[in-house]
Amino acid sequence: MDQKIRAKIIGTGSFVPSRRMTNADFEKLVDTSDEWIISRTGIKERRIADADMFGSDMASNACRNAMEMAGCSPEDIDVLIVGTVTPDYRLPSEACVVQEKLGLVNAVAFDIAAACTGFINGLTIARPMIETDPTKKCLVVGCEKLSSITNYKDRGTCVLFGDAAGAAVLAADTNGGGIISTFMKSDGRLGELLWQEIGGTKNPYTPENVYNGRDKLIMSGSEVFKVAVREMSIASEKVLKDAGLTGDDISLVIPHQANIRIIDALAKRLKVDKSRVFINIEKYGNTSSASVPLALDEANRQGKIKPGDYVLLVAFGGGLIWGAALVKW
């Protein structure tokens, strides 16, 4: 029996707004069609938060669901890590806002701005915290209100994004389960392939910038596609090699739900049958840092993950930054 202390996911949770925005809705906004969107992205609908719902609200709901599954009370949580690029405020951090809403009185709380890779980065940071102090419980959440930074006049990007949150509770395990291997990497030289040009101190919000749509997401889709497929494949192979495993050993791959063509290309490169790849992009679109934990929670609650299964989580996002985590359930 493997007695090594590992950080194990003991509860998952997610939350999506009730409002659905279908492809038919986009046909009224831009020059597009249901057939065009599905063939190029795999998306049929996405969830959009109301004006009075924010990332912290979605994150809090996802965290409550994860803590309920884990059998944890707010007082049990020692660390809260929030991945987001659409926080409620510049200051305080989204994590501190969520901490207050959940009553996590014993926790330290902080944010990660790693876009779609935020949840995997959060797992990577939480892992050594638990391995070095097995009494700790960590709550990692990804939440996004991407509708707030989406340009609904840009037919190439507006159909992609949705709002959501997903979370996981981690605790120590000595029975062979938990996070086996992680990998992270970034390349800031490629930052402008996927970015939000204004909103920081270099290019602050001004009426002119907002009027011209410079406060919204800008993406070079074809270039992002090529880098995403290549680097997610390399990251996946890295964590498998570190664990002495191959794609044949993986029970389920849970990739960032960016685009069905990216997911298909990744599965092909890893030589993993599509039946072992979890896909829910058709319902939610690309939810950035919420994407992987949302899919993980759905797969978990649908009974697609069994004790002892090896689960591969992999993502890629703005930065550019990418990473993978290999988990034994």
CATH superfamily, domain 6-175, is: Thiolase/Chalcone synthase (3.40.47.10)
In angstroms, the first-to-last Cα distance of the chain is 15
pTM value is 0.97
Residues 321 and 256: their CA atoms lie apart, in Å, by 12
Residues 286 and 258: their CA atoms lie apart, in Å, by 5
Q: How many CB atoms lie within 10 A of CB 142?
A: 37
Max distance between CA atoms of the chain, in angstroms, equals 63
Q: Do domains 6-175 and 180-328 have the same CATH topology?
A: yes
**Contacts of residue 324, Cβ cutoff 8 Å, sequence gap at least 6:** 120, 182, 183, 232, 235, 236, 238, 239, 312, 313, 314, 315
In this structure, the strands spanning 138-145 and 79-83 are parallel
Side chain identity at residue 320, one-letter code:
L
pLDDT tens digits, the chain, 329 residues: what are they? 567 999 999 999 999 999 999 999 999 999 999 999 999 999 999 999 999 999 999 999 999 999 999 999 999 999 999 999 999 999 999 999 999 999 999 999 999 999 999 999 999 999 999 999 999 999 999 999 999 999 999 999 999 999 999 999 999 999 999 999 999 999 999 999 998 888 888 988 888 888 777 889 888 988 999 999 999 999 999 999 999 999 999 999 999 999 999 999 999 999 999 999 999 999 999 999 999 999 999 999 999 999 999 999 999 999 999 999 999 99
Tell me the residue length of the chain.
329
pLDDT of residue 3: 79
Residues 286 and 56: their CA atoms lie apart, in Å, by 18
Residue with tokens 């996981």: 168
Which residues in 205-223 are b (16+ Cβ under 10 Å) and which e? eeeeeeeeebbbbbbeeee
Q: What is the DSSP string of 113-160?
A: --GGGHHHHHHHHHHHHHHH-TT--EEEEEEEEGGGG--TT-TTTTTT
Q: Looking at residue 189, what DSSP letter applies?
A: G
pLDDT of residue 215: 86
pLDDT of residue 258: 96
pLDDT of residue 2: 62
Residue with tokens 């290549």: 230
Q: Where are the domains of the chain?
A: 6-175, 180-328
In this structure, the strands spanning 321-328 and 178-186 are antiparallel
pLDDT of residue 263: 98
Residues 237 and 250: their CA atoms lie apart, in Å, by 11
Q: Which residues are catalytic?
A: 116, 256, 286
Residues 176 and 87: their CA atoms lie apart, in Å, by 36
Q: What class does CATH assign to 180-328?
A: alpha beta
208 φ, ψ (degrees, to nearest 5): -65, -45
Tell me the CA distances in angstroms from 240 to 168, 208, 320, one per residue in order.
22, 49, 22
**Omega before residue 92 within 30° of 0, cis:** yes
Residues 108 and 142: their CA atoms lie apart, in Å, by 17
pLDDT of residue 1: 53
Q: Looking at residue 210, what DSSP letter applies?
A: H
Which pair of tokens denotes residue 35? Answer: 């057939």
- Structure confidence by residue, pLDDT tens digits, 110-156: 999 999 999 999 999 999 999 999 999 999 999 999 999 999 999 99
